Structure 1
Amino acid sequence: MNKRLLWLLFSILFMAGCSVLSSTDPEFSRENYDSWYDKGEYQKALNHVNERLETYPEDALLWNEKGYILISMEQYNEALQPLEKAIELNAELDSAYNNKALAYNETGEYEQAIVAAQKAIDLSEEEPEQFINMGNALSFLERDEKALEYFNKALAIDANAPYAQYGKGVSLYFLGKYEEGIPYFENYLHSYPNDIDALWYLVYSYDTLGDYMETIPYLNQIIDNQKENPINTVDYKGLMLTYAGELEEATTIYDGIIEQYPNEAIGYYGKGVLQIQQGQTDNGLQSLEQAVALDNSLKETAYNDPLLSSVYNDELFKRIVE
């Protein structure tokens, strides 16, 4: 899994930077739009703004709103034209630049996102969003030290900004500062407790630190919230329990996988590792042989698995992985 790609999912959730500029449209109402956003009624919001633009085609805030609605509808390329129109009508509209940065992050045009975010920052340093969008772009470009600076700036404005917390955690993770990053992911989860990506970052962090039992609550939460088949996550849980020396609980995990998925190699492989760890070498090698028969790619996994080092010289093991 490319863990950096998990970060992409969050940029569509940022609210546009606020502007003190007023609309020429007397019916323009942020409260109306916010209500539609909360309900996910984006098409209704888009229809309304299009109707108002027929009467007020020179209203920069209406064009900016249209761009943001299209971003909310995940139509990122389409959002750029109305945002450009908003800027053409009012070059001081900081939220339009911020929304451009958001759209460019989603289309993978990170250098353009940096330019737009910097313009938003130049116009206003009072909101955290433009610093978060800048941090996003830099994070995608793997410029993690620099990204961290901008997430810190966002947190200096709002210490509880969830996406700044998340962004800082991501930057610290890719800088190898796993222990430092953990509190930021945990703080983010106070706002979004079931976010799968943040939960995985915590799992990976604790796994890398060797705190295997610390991964278990997060893995349980992921399993509870996964809509698709959670077998790989359950296997990860079994592996963490094995590393932690909780072999009885791990055995229960793999017996459950085998019972539920009798034709999946992963259960037999995990059980084989456990049996060998428990000194049941013959049974363990038989389970490994069954796993490889179901999935030939597990030969390489077994050959390089440190948990199987005690049987590297066993003749049956050599035949299994040859």
Structure 2
Amino acid sequence: MWSLFIFSLMMLTGCYLLSDLDPEFSREKYEKWYENEQYELALEDVKQRLEKFPEDPMLHNEKGYVLHVLGRYEEALQSLNKAIELDNLMDSALNNKAMSLNKLGEYEQAIVAAQQAIDISDKEPEQFINMGNAHFLLERYEKALEYYNHALAIDDHAPYALYGKGVSLYFLYEDEKAVPYLEHYIKVYPDDIDGLWYLVYVHEALGEYSDTLPYLNKIIEFEEEHQLNALDYKGFMLTYAGHFKEAEEIYNYIIEQYPNEGIGYYGKSVALVQQGEIDQGLEELARAIELIDTLKDTAFNDPLLSTIYDNETFIELTGY
């Protein structure tokens, strides 16, 4: 299940500067657009301003930043490269370039751009965060951690550095150390699904199954797309925590809402076996395997079902 949730860290501050050469320019208007995420309006406006001031590097930087936020990374790079061509000391454009390169999977190139930004100015956390992101996405977790620490030395409340450090520590199996950084991040962005999932993972890794539940409840509340996965995860955390009846209720709900998904029947079978209701548990397991044949392998390797490995019906169902 963990593979479904991909680490995605995107710096949206970008250190951009808005050119104010145009006497009609309204900073308040831009701030309202960004606050309300009206990026298409901001893009159209910056395009019009570029027609008046085509050699203004700040406007090319701004255009690149807005295109990045809109997910148009290749176009963003074109604008950012133009900004850098006009002003090769613009650290914000280099930083934004690193950000777009990271989203395009060009991590080594992102490292080069981020280092250039750092060489020009090492007083802002963003450059170090984007450098950390590139190393993280290359699975160089210790190196990533080094740059997130640099960012936190500049601003110990920088949320994306806190997140990056927490997740890096998780991948370095430093779960207990990861918790406070991820918790700090979630206080800033309480609805961030990835941050909530990583808090689930670190508490699970620490064997603190009950502590995963508040975060899973938030995920279930906020995220519709992966709600089934979150409900299933909650059921298993309840089972591991010894709350078998509550787990059974979760799986009854899954079966009601998703009757053609085998995981509901599988989770219920585990909860029932843990309560000593072997025959009923095996009936639910049979339904699960009928829907998803590979669950027979899952069942055979599931430590929560180890007490019935020698049960004849279980052997018949799994084929082992």
Match in the other structure for 2:279? 282
Q: Any stretches of 5+ residues in structure 1 without a counterpart?
A: none
Three-state SS of the structure 1 residue aligned to 2:213 is: helix
Given residue 58 of structure 1, which amino acid in structure 2 is its aligned partner? E
Deviations 1:198-234 (A, max 9, x none): 1110111111111111111111111111123622211
Deviation for aligned residue 1:31: 4.4
Match in the other structure for 1:187? 184
Contact 1:23 1:62 in 2 (8 A): no
Contact 1:23 1:60 in 2 (8 A): no
Name the stretch that deviates more: 80-89 or 260-269.
Answer: 260-269
Q: Any stretches of 5+ residues in structure 2 without a counterpart?
A: none
Contact 1:110 1:140 in 2 (8 A): yes
- CA distance change for structure 1 residues 153 and 3 in 2, over 3 Å: closer, same or farther? farther
Find the partner of 1:175 among 172, 175, 196: 172
Name the stretch that deviates more: 155-164 or 45-54.
Answer: 45-54
Deviations 1:172-203 (A, max 9, x none): 11111111111111111111101111111011
CA distance in 1, matches of 2:112, 2:27: 27
Once the two structures are superposed, the pairs formed by residues 80-159 of structure 1 within 5 Å of their partners are: 80-159=77-156
Contact 1:14 1:129 in 2 (8 A): no
- CA distance change for structure 1 residues 257 and 4 in 2, over 3 Å: closer, same or farther? closer
1:7 aligns with 2:7: yes
CA distance in 1, matches of 2:39, 2:298: 47
CA distance in 2, matches of 1:108, 1:4: 18
Match in the other structure for 2:61? 64
- CA distance change for structure 1 residues 4 and 274 in 2, over 3 Å: closer, same or farther? closer
Q: TM-score normalised to the size of structure 2?
A: 0.94
Name the stretch that deviates more: 201-210 or 270-279.
Answer: 270-279
Match in the other structure for 1:164? 161
Aligned-pair identity (%): 57
Contact 2:16 2:62 in 1 (8 A): no
Contact 1:300 1:321 in 2 (8 A): yes
Deviations 1:222-258 (A, max 9, x none): 1111123622211211111111111121122222223
Given residue 109 of structure 2, which amino acid in structure 1 is its aligned partner? Q
Three-state SS of the structure 2 residue aligned to 1:237 is: helix
CA distance in 1, matches of 2:239, 2:267: 9
Given residue 50 of structure 1, which amino acid in structure 2 is its aligned partner? K
Deviation for aligned residue 1:27: 4.8
Contact 2:114 2:131 in 1 (8 A): yes
CA distance in 2, matches of 1:137, 1:63: 24
Count matched residues: 319
Find the partner of 1:45 among 42, 46, 59: 42
Given residue 179 of structure 1, which amino acid in structure 2 is its aligned partner? E
Find the partner of 1:263 among 250, 260, 264: 260
Match in the other structure for 1:311? 308
CA distance in 2, matches of 1:67, 1:80: 6
Given residue 298 of structure 2, which amino acid in structure 1 is its aligned partner? T
Once the two structures are superposed, the pairs formed by residues 227-246 of structure 1 within 5 Å of their partners are: 227-228=224-225, 230-246=227-243
CA distance in 2, matches of 1:310, 1:5: 32
- CA distance change for structure 1 residues 53 and 232 in 2, over 3 Å: closer, same or farther? closer
Contact 2:95 2:114 in 1 (8 A): yes
Match in the other structure for 1:17? 15
Q: TM-score normalised to the size of structure 1?
A: 0.93
Given residue 44 of structure 2, which amino acid in structure 1 is its aligned partner? N
Deviations 1:121-141 (A, max 9, x none): 111111111111111111000
- CA distance change for structure 1 residues 271 and 48 in 2, over 3 Å: closer, same or farther? closer
CA distance in 1, matches of 2:133, 2:190: 21
